[in-house]
Amino acid sequence: MGMLHTSAVTVSVPATTANIGPGFDCLGAALSLYNRFTFSKLDAAPGTVVIAARGAEAARVQTDASNLAYQAFARFFQHTQAVVPAVKIDIHLGVPLARGLGSSATAIVGGLVAAGALTGAGNIQDLVMQLAIAMEGHPDNVVPALLGGCRLAATTPDNGWEICELSWHEEVVPIVAIPDFELSTAAARRVLPSSYARADAIFNTAHLGLLIRGLETGKAPWLRAALHDRIHQPYRQALIPGYAAIHQTAMAAGAYGLVISGAGSTLLALAEAAQAEPVRAAISASWQAQGVEAEVQVVQLDRRGATVQVEPGSHSN
């Protein structure tokens, strides 16, 4: 009887939308768009990596050791001081790159989760989360990508993290508008001021509190007020052509609000279920009118986060 070896794992990781208006760098939610990563052990020298990608924009995925999913995979073994096994990675892309939908977070979470699953290590969620936050630099995408749902992350006095799941009312429907242009996170960070007026800090604190209650209750007046922010969006709107017109269109079609997803270029609208399709159509038409190709979709909150399928190895006879 050979031992049961896991020879391959497939990790499916949801896209995420960070910030959601006033929750800059601390709030994120998982959405029903997915990247899938299959890691198969190879009978080759340790450190060998073969990568194949398919799906939208697959040609732009790095296929050597600089690939982010592989870097995360290797990081797990380095952390546990183990040899990085030779591996083949098949990537199926369903999350657009560099659009503010957490594609890098899916790669980091995918690689770390796959490494844990291949080693058969139990109870690694906390370790994966710590390593993922360290690699990404902030928690707002990697945490919901790993855990699903809508998550608020706050530091503890000893520099750890408290992660809090927020209730998301089923009547509150996300609509993503993904244009065919990119925004680099670095560029979107550069436009932000280095300090803020006290009034702006108070504004965001109040609106984040209101957003949390609005998402929980689905109460329309709360949500309509809550999605405003003074920390990042006023500075980033200029990087997104047509932002003002699209915001106006979305509101006129009945959205609670329209925000920049992560650092952009994707925009996120929230609407009640009955208005989701009219809002989607209005945003789509508005972007088209400005000569921008955009994919606008009604999506759902993903409540599962990263999921793993294990394929047993050939030695399980």
Tokens representing 295 are 């994919």
CA 19 remoteness from chain centre? 11
Q: Which residue from 7, 43, 76 is spatially nearest to 309, judged by alpha carbons?
A: 7
CA atoms within 13 A on the CB side of 87: 32
For residue 62, the one-letter residue type is Q
CATH architecture of 172-298: 2-Layer Sandwich (3.30)
Contacts of 21 (CB under 8 A, 6+ apart): 207, 211, 226, 227, 228, 229, 233, 257, 259
Number of neighbours of residue 54 by Cβ within 10 angstroms: 12
Residues in the chain with pLDDT values less than 50: 1-4, 314-317
Q: What is the CATH number of domain 6-166+302-312?
A: 3.30.230.10
Positive or negative CA dihedral for 84, 88, 94, 95?
Answer: positive
Would the pTM count as exceeding 0.75?
A: yes
Number of neighbours of residue 62 by Cβ within 10 angstroms: 14
Tokens representing 155 are 């530091």
CA atoms within 13 A on the CB side of 305: 19
**Residues paired with residue 16 on neighbouring β-strands, in sequence order:** 30
DSSP state of 180: S
Domain range annotation of the chain: 6-166+302-312, 172-298
Containing H/E element for 18? strand 6-18
Containing H/E element for 139? helix 139-147
The pLDDT of residue 311: 79
The pLDDT of residue 113: 97
Number of neighbours of residue 77 by Cβ within 10 angstroms: 16
CA 294 remoteness from chain centre? 19
